[in-house]
Chain A
């Protein structure tokens, strides 16, 4: 087990480092002098030069890269160009919105997809199957931001159950509270979840159908287990193996979705921060946020890899 883990950890670190290089490199080619942008097109060239000096922009690229990486290890992300405040603070504040949103969406997605997929598979070729998969097809075709808008139309404009956007904050001091904050995240989470669930439901259904064809399912039935017991006790765990892979890959899509959905609902999350920072040419924020997002995806896939070993006892044996 430990060799398995060590190998995986090594890959994780390597991938993270590689990602950091890519992120840094891509943003290096950003044209336009940051100092120039900050001070405006009519600024005095000397002032621009001074600012560039102050921001450390004149150092060689590899130096700035290593400074950044070492800073990350110390929990230091530098200061934002636009706000002057430490990037870390900004990021943490925004994460308090994005992470709960992503978690809620992921949970909703999983539950919806599993139920729909298993249901469709157990009613294979009958109305339940065709109907569910038809809905899934539609779900895949719907842009998530449009679905978000439709949700707002229905629940905020017409029914007035939810507000049309904005985030009150988690604590009462800032005018929010635990429950109002969750409420503000419900519609966005649903918007994200439905599209993801549609994709995942199709995968779940084919995974379950595949497993149903396996010999051990026939053995289980021959033992006298009921259809339900066979499905939930024997089939599901085996079907989860491909499903979990896809869930891991989907996480990247989920994060991408949160960027767009946060814009629809005016949520002060990480996605919005990136978006605004790009507009502001606030490189430091952009670089750190993108790195953070990429790291989240990489770590989630790492966890998925580990989950394999838990779910499928054959993995360890063959993979050392």
Chain B
């Protein structure tokens, strides 16, 4: 049985503009030790998906579909049930390490808190455990710094503290929502490596969310590409990169600046590729394909008919949602190989 099974998850927001479908029909299965990446632009619904998995959606959101952890259904849990689960069997780290820690509590206490809450450890043993966690995540002189406050640490260190906090109770699944976006480039890789090591060490499942293809491609086994609340393409990272079936995925990759690209005949650098248009507001999405209009293969039926997943490469693990076989058969930009998109 897969560790985490999500089937046809839908998140609806009830706003003053009416009902907005923020996440539509999202499905995936995560195995023990498996790593999944969610990639997409801002507003595509990836963070909301993560929040839905943790039961942390805002009050005006409702969910549909099913989420099962070890076979246990999560979406119909009440608050007490969720609070039992969070930090314990599923954990999450967030994007902004600068503000994600309570400024008035020492870090030792914050890391020890989930241990005391879920494992009933006493103050002393929890502190000891917290200490070893902090050492594991690479906080120098952790023993002396247990009583220090968040503002006394750098951004990268705070993220490490967050990781220590999240992994304190040995959760089965770790959700990392843009964990490196707010960090310096030099620190980003260290944090990603740390996460990868820990996930490996503990045999956890990892869901990594990012808008950065480089981050995703190097760190996860399978990928979901999201746009406008729907998953437009999904599959193992390698296969997906080798054959990018969906026009959006190709556009995303093509938009990355390329080091060492050949200059144009007049000596200028080639202009950056963009995807024409802008992301529509969730409330304004057409009933059909969310990418219609911006896609160069758009046809009238794309706007009204919602595409179903079409298997690619003869396997059912890699699929794309698109109505146009020509779109899916087009070649990806040259020189793109999984793992080299750095």
Contact = CB atoms under 8 A, between A and B. Distances in A.
Interface of A: 214-216, 218-227, 229, 234, 237-238, 311-314, 317
Interface in B128-162: 149, 151-152, 162
Nearest to A226: B83
Given A311-B104, A313-B103, A314-B149, A223 B113 contact: yes
B54 A219 contact: no
Contact of A215 (B79, B96, B149): B96
A317 B103 CA distance: 13
Given A224-B88, A224-B114, A226-B83, A215 B99 contact: yes
Contacts of B94: 215, 218-219, 222
B169 to A, nearest CB: 8
B101 A225 contact: no
Contact of A220 (B85, B96, B102, B149): B102
28 contacts: A215-B94, A215-B96, A216-B99, A216-B101, A219-B102, A220-B113, A221-B56, A221-B83, A222-B56, A223-B87, A224-B86, A224-B87, A224-B88, A224-B114, A225-B113, A225-B117, A226-B80, A227-B79, A229-B117, A234-B102, A234-B105, A238-B102, A238-B103, A238-B104, A312-B104, A313-B103, A317-B151, A317-B152
Contacts of B152: 317
Nearest to B104: A237
Given A238-B104, A317-B151, A222 B91 contact: yes
| Listed residue (B54, B94, B101, B104) with the most chain A CB atoms within 10 angstroms of its CB | B104
B84 interface: yes
Contacts of B88: 224
B36 to A, nearest CB: 19
B208 interface: no
Interface of B: 54, 56, 79-80, 83-88, 91-92, 94, 96, 99-105, 113-114, 117-118, 149, 151-152, 162, 165-166
A235 to B, nearest CB: 9
A221 B86 contact: yes
The 8 A-B residue pairs with the shortest CB-CB distance, nearest first, are A224-B87, A223-B87, A224-B86, A215-B99, A216-B102, A313-B149, A223-B114, A215-B100
Contact of B86 (A216, A223, A237, A314): A223
| Listed residue (B84, B86, B88) with the most chain A CB atoms within 10 angstroms of its CB | B86
A227 B56 CA distance: 12
